[in-house]
């Protein structure tokens, strides 16, 4: 594991201002390579989609999730235990923060990526999840699937309703490399561009402040709907006014 020093206070301040922060070379290439091999072996080249067709079509999101720790794959525990990641998480979420789960997201070439969304409704600014995204392989232009974020949008309330994909003023393109850590506030408007020439992988160690309900990410906000994963149901149609 990489032991390079990090400036916890600066990173936490950037996160507070922007709702996301990208730290290159946070994890060393060898440990990332090990996880990447496990992930690619698990998925093979032709994974089935996991969500139903209504979700896939309406959300314009094509990603296959895997929860390796729930299946006892111990190789993923090392990241969770990393003292620098824990120090950063505490600086952002405060004492008593909790890990939620580790979710690998896999996308095949030629799929649409993920439309703009917020991981949970921003109805209460204090109720949110923190995405701790670890990249085990480069997101190059050849792979596609760059992550888009709107800086400061974690403080702008609801993602505006409308067409699922669009451009927002001030949106920023992230191109994480192997070993990059991206910390992303669940209320921050974010999107993954279509996947181009190779499979795309990201691994999300979700966490939340003390007292946050375990199911805080059950309802996801898209520009055209709110969707509840536990019941696979559209719980609100959203129309631009
Ligand atoms: O994989 C990424 O870069 C972003 C993941 C994402 O959109 C999410 O976890 O909600």
130-150 per-position pLDDT tens digit? 999 999 999 999 999 999 999
Does the C-beta of 18 come closer than 6 Å to ligand 1? no
pLDDT tens-digit readout, 66-76: 999 999 999 99
pLDDT tens-digit readout, 20-29: 999 999 999 9
Q: Which of 152, 198, 141, 204 is nearest to 175 (CA)?
A: 141
How far does the centroid of ligand 1 lie from the alpha carbon of residue 19, in Å?
A: 14
71, burial (CB in 10 Å: exposed 0-12, middle 13-18, buried 19+): exposed
**Residue 45 pLDDT greater than 60, yes or no:** no
| Sequence ranges of the domains in the chain | 8-237
Distances (CA, A) of 149 to 118, 193, 194: 11, 11, 15
Looking at the CA of residue 131, tell me the nearest atom of ligand 1: 9
Looking at the CA of residue 147, tell me the nearest atom of ligand 1: 3
Residue 47 pLDDT class (50, 70, 90 cuts): low
pLDDT value at residue 7 = 93
Looking at the CA of residue 190, tell me the nearest atom of ligand 1: 7
Task: Find the mean pLDDT for residues 43-59.
Answer: 67
How far does the centroid of ligand 1 lie from the alpha carbon of residue 192, in Å?
A: 7
Query: Of the ranges 46-60, 180-194, 204-218, which one carries the lowest mean pLDDT score?
Result: 46-60
Task: Find the mean pLDDT for residues 210-215.
Answer: 96
Residue 52 pLDDT class (50, 70, 90 cuts): low
How far does the centroid of ligand 1 lie from the alpha carbon of residue 114, in Å?
A: 8
pLDDT value at residue 135 = 98
Residue 217 pLDDT class (50, 70, 90 cuts): very high
The count of other CB atoms within 10 Å of the CB of residue 4 is 10
Task: Return the bridge partners of 190, or none.
Answer: 117, 149
How far does the centroid of ligand 1 lie from the alpha carbon of residue 96, in Å?
A: 24
Does the C-beta of 204 come closer than 6 Å to ligand 1? yes
pLDDT value at residue 169 = 97
> H or E stretch including 53?
helix 53-59
pLDDT value at residue 49 = 58
Q: Which CATH number fits domain 8-237: 2.60.120.620, 2.60.40.1120, 2.60.40.420, 3.30.300.10?
A: 2.60.120.620
Looking at the CA of residue 139, tell me the nearest atom of ligand 1: 3
Does the C-beta of 143 come closer than 6 Å to ligand 1? no
**Residue 57 pLDDT greater than 90, yes or no:** no
Does the C-beta of 131 come closer than 6 Å to ligand 1? yes
How far does the centroid of ligand 1 lie from the alpha carbon of residue 2, in Å?
A: 23
Q: Rounded CA gap, 40 and 205, in Å?
A: 18
Q: Rounded CA gap, 13 and 48, in Å?
A: 40
Q: Tell me what the pLDDT averaged over the chain comes to.
A: 93
Q: Rounded CA gap, 119 and 66, in Å?
A: 17
């Amino acid at each position: 594991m990489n032991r390079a020093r990090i400036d916890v206070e600066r990173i936490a301040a950037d996160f507070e201002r922007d709702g996301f922060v990208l730290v290159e070379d946070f994890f060393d290439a060898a440990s990332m390579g090990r996880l990447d091999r496990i992930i690619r072996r698990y998925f093979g080249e032709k994974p089935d989609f996991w969500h139903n067709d209504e979700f896939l079509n309406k959300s314009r999101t094509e990603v296959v999730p895997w929860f390796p720790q729930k299946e006892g794959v111990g190789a993923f525990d090392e990241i969770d235990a990393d003292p620098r990641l824990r120090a950063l998480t505490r600086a952002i979420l405060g004492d008593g923060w909790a890990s939620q789960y580790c979710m690998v997201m896999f996308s095949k070439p030629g799929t649409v990526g993920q439309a703009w969304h917020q991981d949970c409704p921003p109805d209460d600014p204090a109720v949110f999840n923190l995405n701790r995204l670890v990249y085990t392989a480069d997101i190059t232009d050849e792979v596609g699937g760059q992550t888009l974020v709107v800086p400061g949008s974690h403080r702008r309330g609801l993602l505006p309703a409308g067409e699922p994909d669009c451009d927002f003023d001030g949106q920023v393109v992230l191109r994480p490399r192997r070993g990059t850590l991206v910390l992303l506030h669940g209320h921050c408007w974010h999107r993954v561009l279509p996947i181009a020439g190779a499979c795309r992988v990201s691994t999300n160690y979700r966490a939340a402040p003390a007292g946050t309900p375990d199911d805080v990410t059950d309802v996801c906000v898209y520009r055209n709907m709110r969707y509840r994963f536990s019941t696979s149901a559209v719980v609100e149609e959203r129309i631009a006014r």
